[in-house]
Chains A and B, each alone.
Chain A
């Protein structure tokens, strides 16, 4: 299995632009998570889905952030408009099932820089 796939791996954009991050979870996994990692705040959960349905988006910082999962093999995280404080590494992770005992498998991350 190729593991969790994220694209792009790196993104540099200017403030105000729309940014779309993409994720393909491991085939057969039913839960998908989006995280953001910064030096100051560590790894923060933004939103997670179970069976393509958003369950908890309480970590989404504000309305500029939105996430979708149109099917079991694809999810997007969109930032519109982007701001310099959004600069971070964004990780997507998937797990076989829902539950805090499930192992989460992380993708390689997208390093976002907003100028």
Chain B
């Protein structure tokens, strides 16, 4: 069956370091992958979209990679700040209209 895996354990890093979150998928061939941020008690907020023919996408301190051979996306936050602390969700297209979300990884950035 189709499956999206994100590290369920929280990622704790020190301010200023680069945070790297992983999204792995199986039995999928997605054309697009999105990353969302979710703060406690709030809905997810869109961050970035990357297409299967794009190896890398950047937006300010964020960088996303998409490796269709490894079936993996990496999400990087450089020069991390305590304000980056949140849960980050990856989402893959399951059909032309639907997104399937991973369970998310909680990031905690300590000053």
Contacts and interface: CB of A to CB of B under 8 A. Distances in A.
Interface string A71-108: 00000000000000000000101000011110111111
A14 interface: no
B97 A45 contact: no
A48 B97 contact: yes
A50 B45 CA distance: 21
A101 B30 CA distance: 11
Interface string B72-111: 0000000000000000010001111111111110000000
Contacts, number: 63
Interface of B: 31-32, 34, 41-46, 49, 51, 89, 93-104
A70 interface: no
A72 B19 CA distance: 40
Interface residues of A, number: 25
A98 B96 contact: yes
A22 to B, nearest CB: 15
